[in-house]
Chain A
């Protein structure tokens, strides 16, 4: 074995870098060469010893475990925080999902139940109903006015109402039966003719026939009854025809109407 190779082998041997086979061969060589063996032992002394006479103090262990505990605590705190964050996030996501689901369901259900149920339409409906209310109030107020013109305006307003209350129809009948102005009474008939689908309105109209003195009103009512094919009115017309002070033209018109109704 060459010197250089031998020296390198010593290094490999004492630093544990020999394979098992190399180690056995080298140890066999050393057995036969005491001088070489001594050299290896000497060389081994040069590798710095780690088993120093200086002992590690317990302070190092204490410091380390204190540090480890602190790190563990921090780690636990962090994971707890993470857990809380996760829970909140999960909750929030759930809430968001629920909200969205409810919104979607609400949207479709709302659409199904109310095809024009958009906010704008609802607002429009509300505005319309408010207008109707105001109009009703206006009708009632104007009908009490002494001026025939105002009362006429009231009846015209009443005919613009899409739906009537009993108060309005009562006020209109009162106008029809007792208003001094013919034009106002005629307008009242016109207004009431819009609500003939209401049985009370029909009956009211029939009942008012007998109270009418003006031939104009009698003729308009006769026309209306023909339109409505109201047989109940015939009795009233017949009664009027028999009366002496009733206009002849009106009588004739009522006669014709009776025939038309039948």
Chain B
């Protein structure tokens, strides 16, 4: 067993590990500190959710059906999130369809098939670099390439492609983690039975890695759905009275609505924005719940 930074053994032996009163106090204080540190994050989250609920609950329950099924309006009392909510849902679905296969494919290739050469290294460091690029820059990419150069305009397709490209690095990383967790013994067993690498990947590794990958994908998507900046940059409309029928149709999104309503002078719009935030948070929680469910039920622990 080699530990390259050995800080423990000499010191404990020197001091003699008797548990004096002061030590116990320090131990307890430390445990307390840990608890406080952990609980602070939880309390912050609770406070945030409470603040939003307080601001928007009345508006939401005052007219829930109307709020969910109306389109936007100049009158806050009539304004609803239908276009934004459905738009976000469509965006999410199309984004998932685009980035899940590509992400899984890339992860499989990098983990199972890629030779150890400079190209692979380059691709890998490129992916981890992309994971840190700000969402605004992805928005600029979407505007320049998808909306303008490829002439998609501010459409469902352009928006989904932008969000997909943004989520891709996260999915690849999650996929690689999940694939790595499958022990080599499984692979060697398959080889012993005469399988080719692809056969074994398809029948053994992928099914085992799927839950972990899906969890990572859902979490990445739930973050993408709350992103405002990229969609703002592409220029998705805020006012729209129809639902998209086609990938090339314009589409709105819930975060865009929220952001737009908070900039209106009428105080009632601020309430509407808070109510819309509650719906967005509910959406987020639902997606997280699904991800956790998949992780708990289907993940194989080797």
The answer to whether A and B interact is no
- List the interface of chain A (C-beta within 8 A of B): none
